[in-house]
Chain A
Amino acid sequence: MRVSIDSATCQGHGRCYDLAPDLFGEDEEGYATLTALTADGEVPAGREGDVRLAAANCPESAVLVHEEARL
């Protein structure tokens, strides 16, 4: 699974970094960032649920989840 932040729609509500503070962070203005764990856009194994939860709670739908077909 891959994840990214749509910085054009993120308004800094912070639901993503409230719910998964190791997967999402805030920049100095409160907008969402990826973290060391997600910097390459890859969701660490076993953390797919947390990413989906963050996406489902973002009021602006700015956490973009890219599900991949299972091989």
Chain B
Amino acid sequence: MTVDDRFTEEARQQRIAESQLGTVNEIITGPVKDWTTDFSHFEEEYAENAIQIWDDLRGRCPVAHTERFGGAWLPTRYEDVQAIAYDTEHFTSRAIIISNVRPPLDIAPVGFAPPISSDPPFHHDARKLLLPAFTKANVAKQAVTTEAFCHSLIDGFAGRDVVDAATEYGMYIPMRVIADMLGFPQEDTEKFTRFVENVLEGANDPIEERQERGMALSNYLFEQVRDHIDNPRDDLTTYLLNAELYGQKLEPQHVVGTMTLLLIAGIDTTWSAIGASLWHLAKNPEDRKRLVEDRSLRPKAVEEFLRAYAPVTMARLVKEDVELGGVQMKKEDWVLLPFPAANRDPERFERADEVVIDREVNRHAAFGLGIHRCVGSHLARMELTVALDVWLDRVPEFSLEDPAAVRWSAGQIRGPRALPLRIG
């Protein structure tokens, strides 16, 4: 067997260097003057009121604009979000998180973290590598350990009246699951907290700070890769190290990029979904009681929470000038893809602004639309279902300890980051 020599110091430096390239624009912060012409998803007002902001914009300015981030658009109608998601000719995934840096043009079609950052035709090949590990049948194998882990978190609440369901429950579940799947040591969970912390919220931070965070994560992943090369095992990291595309092993940047993606994409998202669901039930005792008593309602409720509190807004860059929803978008403009706003479009959903926990017809787009459909959607659904099942069975009585202490994240991933609940 030949030695796997892809993950050299040079490759690590190259990754850091690549993440530093791109077109930088001035960082603009501060309160939004007018949501139709100056929107910013990083401001506190958006964290608190995103739903009202989307509903307002959809009615009077369905594709809003801002000069911030070097120019960006915010569509809020389902049909516009859908059209952009399907149109990979005019919109590239070269970047999917809006920041003040546009990655260099030549990183397409692979991008920094395949497959999310990839465009056709490469996208499909990179995605295909991941699909088998994330089928419904395969992720079901993680359910037993996930359930045991949720129980152990709740065991830890013994003797307490108030717990933070975001930072003491929801956050740990996806971290533990993905760390298990990638084959990382369980005791490293605390480290992930730091890697993921403020990432979504931090994309507007000074570039040096972002690079420092990125470097710590890169270093950790290179360490894990080297350990897996020395000690191969039955997990996703070893799988990626052995995987081949076009008859060759993957580029080192592809392996580490995909690991980054799996780690980051799975954590804040699922954490947000668990937190938002518990927040809703803490505020709505009737829904809570119905779900505690009738387990058969829970699958529909999970879908409704995903619709109404969809955590993920993605982004694209305009590849070619294009007209959309009545506006003229220019090459290199950013476009937000707010699946959560699409999910609340009354043109598309009956009683769109209400949470109907037994909704029958629910064609929501929480996991995206088109070729980038969330690879982790079956895993996320399993985690959310198990997390709610265990919580409702063990802690049937709970309410908001202090509504004013609940804090929602700003940025593209929306969910409660502080959620003190009174339990028992």
* A interface residue numbers (CB < 8 A to B): 11-14, 17-18, 26, 28-30, 53, 56-61
Q: Is chain B's binding surface mostly helix, strand, loop or mixed?
A: helix
The answer, among A12, A13, A57, A61, for a CB contact under 8 Å with B361, is A57
Q: Which chain A residue has the least Cβ–Cβ distance from B362?
A: A57
- The 21 listed contacts between A and B (C-beta, < 8 Å) are A11-B369, A11-B370, A13-B367, A13-B377, A14-B136, A14-B377, A17-B136, A26-B135, A28-B131, A28-B132, A29-B131, A30-B134, A30-B135, A30-B378, A53-B360, A56-B360, A56-B363, A57-B361, A57-B362, A59-B367, A60-B370
Contact (Cβ within 8 A) A29 B299:
no
The answer, among A29, A58, A60, for a CB contact under 8 Å with B128, is A29
B371 at the interface (CB under 8 A from A): yes
Contacts of A57 in B (CB 8 A): 303, 361-363
Q: Which 3 A-B pairs have the closest CB atoms?
A: A11-B373, A29-B131, A30-B135
Contacts of A13 in B (CB 8 A): 367, 373, 377
Contact (Cβ within 8 A) A60 B134:
no
CB neighbors of A among B356-378 (8 A) = 360-365, 367, 369-371, 373, 377-378
Contact (Cβ within 8 A) B369 A60:
yes
Tell me, in angstroms, the Cα distance from A59 to B364 when the chains sit together. Answer: 6
Q: Which chain A residue has the least Cβ–Cβ distance from B132?
A: A28
Q: Which chain A residue has the least Cβ–Cβ distance from B137?
A: A26
B407 to chain A, nearest CB (A): 30
Tell me, in angstroms, the Cα distance from A53 to B359 when the chains sit together. Answer: 11
B275 to chain A, nearest CB (A): 23
Contacts of B381 in A (CB 8 A): 18
Q: Which chain B residue has the least Cβ–Cβ distance from A27?
A: B135
Interface size on B, residues (CB 8 A): 23
Q: Which chain A residue has the least Cβ–Cβ distance from B369?
A: A59
Contacts of B364 in A (CB 8 A): 59
Contact (Cβ within 8 A) B378 A58:
no
A31 to chain B, nearest CB (A): 8
B388 to chain A, nearest CB (A): 16
Tell me, in angstroms, the Cα distance from A30 to B134 when the chains sit together. Answer: 8
Tell me, in angstroms, the Cα distance from A46 to B363 when the chains sit together. Answer: 23
Contacts of B367 in A (CB 8 A): 13, 59
Q: Which chain A residue has the least Cβ–Cβ distance from B364?
A: A59
Contact (Cβ within 8 A) B363 A58:
yes
B71 to chain A, nearest CB (A): 30
Contact (Cβ within 8 A) B299 A12:
no
The answer, among B131, B365, B370, for a CB contact under 8 Å with A30, is B131
B341 to chain A, nearest CB (A): 15
Contacts of B378 in A (CB 8 A): 14, 30
Q: Most chain-A CB neighbours within 10 Å: which of B364, B373, B381?
A: B373
Instruction: Beyond the given A13-B373, A59-B367, A59-B369, please list 18 additional residue pairs across the A-B interface where CB-CB is below 8 A.
Output: A14-B136, A17-B136, A18-B381, A26-B137, A28-B132, A28-B135, A29-B131, A29-B132, A30-B134, A30-B135, A30-B136, A53-B360, A53-B361, A57-B303, A58-B363, A59-B364, A59-B365, A60-B369
Contacts of A26 in B (CB 8 A): 135-137
Tell me, in angstroms, the Cα distance from A11 to B128 when the chains sit together. Answer: 12
CB neighbors of A among B314-370 (8 A) = 360-365, 367, 369-370
Contacts of A18 in B (CB 8 A): 136, 299, 381
A15 to chain B, nearest CB (A): 8
Contact (Cβ within 8 A) B131 A12:
yes
B66 to chain A, nearest CB (A): 28
Contacts of B135 in A (CB 8 A): 26, 28-30
Contact (Cβ within 8 A) B371 A56:
no
Q: Which chain A residue has the least Cβ–Cβ distance from B377?
A: A13
Contact (Cβ within 8 A) A56 B136:
no
Contacts of B137 in A (CB 8 A): 26
Tell me, in angstroms, the Cα distance from A58 to B369 when the chains sit together. Answer: 11
A60 to chain B, nearest CB (A): 7
Tell me, in angstroms, the Cα distance from A61 to B361 when the chains sit together. Answer: 12
CB neighbors of A among B93-134 (8 A) = 128, 131-132, 134
Contacts of B128 in A (CB 8 A): 29
B386 to chain A, nearest CB (A): 15
Contact (Cβ within 8 A) A12 B373:
yes
